[in-house]
Amino acid sequence: MNITIPDLSLVVLIGPSGCGKSSFARAHFKSTEVLSSDFCRGLVSDDENSQEATNDAFDVLHYIARKRLTAGRLSVVDATNVQPEARKPLVALAREFHTLPVAIVLNLPEKLCQERNQNRPDRQFGPHVVRNQSQQLRRSIRGLEREGFRHVFVLSSPEEVSSVSITRQPLWNNLKHEHGPFDIIGDVHGCYEELTALLSQLGYQIEDGLTVTPPDGRRAIFVGDLVDRGPRIPEVLRLVMKMVEDGTAFCVPGNHDMKLMRKLKGRDVQLTHGLADSVEQFDKETPEFKQTVIKFLDDLVSHYVFDDGKLVVAHAGMKEEMQGRGSGKVRDFALYGETTGETDEYGLPVRYNWAAEYRGKAMVVYGHTPVAEPEWLNRTINIDTGCVFGGKLTSLRYPERELTAVSALRTYYQSAKPFLAPEEKAPALTTQQQLDDLLDIEDVVGKRIIQTRLQRSITIREENAITALEVMSRFAVNPKWLIYLPPTMSPCETSKRHGLLEHPEEAFAYYLHEGVHKVVCQQKHMGSRAVVVVCRDVDAARKRFGIIEGDVGVCYTRTGRRFFNDAPLEFEFLEKVRKAVEAAGIWDELKTDWVCLDCELMPWSAKAQELLRQQYAPTGAAARVSLPAAITALKAAAENPEVALLAEQYQQRNEAANLYVEAYQRYCWTVHSLADLKLAPFHLLASEGAVHTANDHLWHMETLGRICHADPDLLLATPFQVVDLTDKAEQERGIKWWEELTASGGEGMVVKPLEFVAKSRKGLVQPAVKVRGQEYLRIIYGPEYTLPENLLRLKSRGLGAKRSLALREFALGLEALERFVHEEPLRRVHECVFGVLALESEPVDPRL
């Protein structure tokens, strides 16, 4: 006997003790698919036969079943299930998760069950137990379908049981093996002319008005509502039915299609909402045609899941938890969506905006409610642009995500509610942007695992998220601006050279060993890291970033805080950057109206003023009073040779302290106005449609160089050198350059692979390592770090944690930009930026 069950179902085995349910389950299902009540009894009580544990055992069983059904896994309940009250919660469970309940009944002779139980030492209950169960079972069989079981299989003899084979059938809606490409077409409503025009525009050849040949490998998907209201309903049906028959199209049903079908079947249906038009046009058709239409409509599947689950098409949309499932509720949702139970000013039901809360991974394309313009919202898009109401017929190319539309030739039907918003009423922000105003705490807190394009998954620990939440909430700029946070940067390995902590040769060696043959050495500016986002104008800031406060851009620090506390100064600053970008012709060149720049803003003292006043300057001030006083006292007692030796040491310390003060002073100057600031951009991170990681650093340097050239007062082009690591002479030249930079007091240099993203066989290579100068390092390791006894100890330092952190933050930062550029919802961008901030709170030696 062959039993066919849906591949996502809740299988309920029914039979008295001893009928062989467990053996049956073992024979036909994976052990992890079978949820046995006896096993659960054992879990909670250490006794698989404990009747006292029954309630707890079923709690556990139901709990596991819920988890499995949520995850879309077939589950088998191995319990006697002979009483209706035992089966009822299981049917409810299956319904809740939109899966089909299947009953397999093992209706074997009572005698056989009694015998089997007698042979088992652990089943020492009296014969009355099995007798009762058998009776209950027999009373149950007839009512199983009424109880809600969609498939009931009764096996009545041991032979039948042993002959069974089970076939699992994918649900009709499962078209995951169809990968496209597709052209998804909105609600047609009998607009035949517009439909053929649209198909032609998409490259479909139409012969004799009926036979359609798609362009290479493409197929059409109709979101339903082919009928009612429009002028040429039967012709639309003929065309679509033919395409479906030919395998050049898929079609899901719309509510109008279903209502027409009921009418054609002779049901009593009200002739409202344009059904009258269909009925009138069908009057001229043959009964055969009507029968074909009925059959076609009857066979339509509520919704389809395509392309490994990446695309879902349904008439009125589909919630994540219903995708790929089958139940009456799923069908209702696909046809009508959900309503809130309220009605609007036009007397129409208010729809529950499922898309606003959609968090699923699959793209959902739907129609049903006419909109003026299709708008992406959380990976969903409504492409019903009201052709029959005089709007247009829209299609979405998948996977390209391109929209194509054909305007309606005229208005065929008056909409009860004006769906074309009058121009002046058009909201300043898109629905997505309005939704993005409100981020949800569940999208950032707790332990999170973020998938990125560069590194498979990055884990954010809960305690780090706690810290990030505080910083983000209290200090960060509007998250809409926050599309990137820069990663931390590791220094090169510690130098083996005498008297030095860092030297370029370690950086060169690192990259060479990672298989990088060319690097770019950029002068490292000693200021503060700044991310600058600047738009072409206020309008671009509104459209692209959803900023309605009238800002044209933003400048923020590495932790997402606004760089300037002085709003007029920030405005003036951004205005200058904007003009420079414009003067360099970047808007047109990159076809963008915004850019995101990674920069260093100088002087250091502009942002680090407090740090300087609280830590750096005081250390120098104290040293420069104390050390000379100590030297004076020691010299007075220097007759003692031991004291004289000490005096000598203090002299050296004093010199070091003076060098330290000179070192930090070099990076400080007083900022009276914008004229005292310098901005050195070194990455042109992103612009419309692109994160510029495919361009190498020479492109970044060259493009930014042109921007800097446009305003040399504010902008500073970063000096750089390219070094071929396979050429020792070039390496020497790079080292020499570093020596010159640091000898004149520079911070040092940053060495990067020429490619923006470099990979070795172990994975990502450090995107940059810094090589800092000897004098600069006094600011990091203290005035006297160069004294031999200090340097010796400082040389032992581990870079592992820092480097791992740098890579994770790099991957997350770029992921944030990618998601922004791909117009994903803000929460998806924010998740990454928040992750960078959280990672920054990990304990890693801050001096590295």
Footprint on this chain of another protein (rule: CB under 8 A): 437-444, 466-467, 469-470, 472-474, 478, 549, 562, 605, 609, 612-613, 615-623, 625-627, 629-630, 632-634, 636-637, 640, 642-643, 646, 657, 661, 665, 668, 670, 779-785, 790, 793-794, 847
For the CB of residue 448, give the shortest distance to another protein in the complex, in Å: 14
C-alpha span between 477 and 830 (Å, rounded): 12
List the beta bridge partners of residue 406. Answer: 393
CA triple 41-45-49, angle to 5 deg: 50
CB of 781 to another protein, least distance (A): 5
Closest CA to 387 of 413, 418, 365: 413
Q: In this structure, what DSSP letter does residue 616 have?
A: I
Residue 617, phi then psi, degrees to nearest 5 = -65, -45
Query: Do 520 and 720 form a contact (C-beta atoms < 8 A)?
Result: yes
Q: What is the DSSP letter of 655?
A: H
Dist CA 138 CA 145 (whole Å)? 14
Closest Cα partner for 90 from 48, 58, 44? 58
CB of 620 to another protein, least distance (A): 7
- Closest contact distance (angstroms) between CB of 154 and another protein is 46
Shorter beta-carbon distance to another protein: residue 112 or 630? 630
**Residue among 445 and 754 whose Cβ is closer to another protein:** 445
Shortest approach of another protein to residue 640 CB, angstroms? 6
| Cα pseudo-dihedral 694, 696, 697, 699, rounded to 10 | -90
Task: Choose between 340 and 615: whose C-beta lies nearer to another protein.
Answer: 615
Tell how strand 219-222 and strand 182-185 pair up: parallel
Residue 493 has, within 13 A of its CA and on its CB side, a CA count of 11
Contacts of residue 127, defined as CB under 8 A and 6 or more positions apart, other chains included, come to: 114
Taking the least distance from each CB to another protein, the nearer of 633 and 743 is 633
Nearer to another protein, 603 or 734 (CB): 603
**Beta carbon of residue 841, minimum distance to another protein (angstroms, whole number):** 11
Q: Among residues 585 and 618, whose Cβ is nearest to another protein?
A: 618
Residues shown for the chain: 848
- CA 497/CA 513 separation, integer angstroms: 20
Question: Counting beta carbons within 10 angstroms of the beta carbon of residue 562, is it exposed (0 to 12), middle (13 to 18) or buried (19 or more)?
Answer: middle
Alpha-carbon distance of 368 to 359, in angstroms, equals 21
By beta-carbon proximity to another protein, the closer residue of 22 and 790 is: 790
Indicate the helix (H) or strand (E) that contains 56.
helix 54-70
Least distance to another protein from the beta carbon of 605, Å? 8
CB of 361 to another protein, least distance (A): 21
Provide the minimum distance between the beta carbon of 463 and another protein in the complex, in angstroms, as a whole number.
Answer: 9
Question: Which tokens in the block code for residue 190?
Answer: 């009998």
What's the burial of 441, exposed, middle or buried (CB within 10 Å: 0-12/13-18/19+)?
Answer: exposed
**Least distance from another protein to the Cβ atom of residue 462, Å:** 10
Q: Which is nearer to another protein, 150 or 653 (CB)?
A: 653
Residue among 629 and 698 whose Cβ is closer to another protein: 629
Of 366 and 481, the one with the shorter C-beta distance to another protein is 481
> Exposed, middle or buried by CB within 10 Å (0-12, 13-18, 19+), for 28?
middle
Instruction: Give the residue with the Cβ less far from another protein, 271 or 625.
Output: 625
CB of 618 to another protein, least distance (A): 5
Nearer to another protein, 616 or 820 (CB): 616
Identify the helix (H) or strand (E) that includes residue 86. Answer: helix 84-96
Q: Encoding tokens for residue 593?
A: 């109206």
Would you say 164 and 155 are in contact if contact means Cβ atoms under 8 Å apart? yes
- Residue 539 CB, shortest distance to another protein, in Å, is 19
Tell me which H or E stretch contains 194.
helix 192-201
Q: How far is the CB of 794 from another protein (least distance, A)?
A: 6
**Rounded alpha-carbon distances, angstroms, from residue 405 to 205, 384, 670:** 17, 11, 58
What DSSP character marks residue 719? P
Closest CB to another protein among residues 404, 467: 467
Tokens standing for residue 380:
């969903």
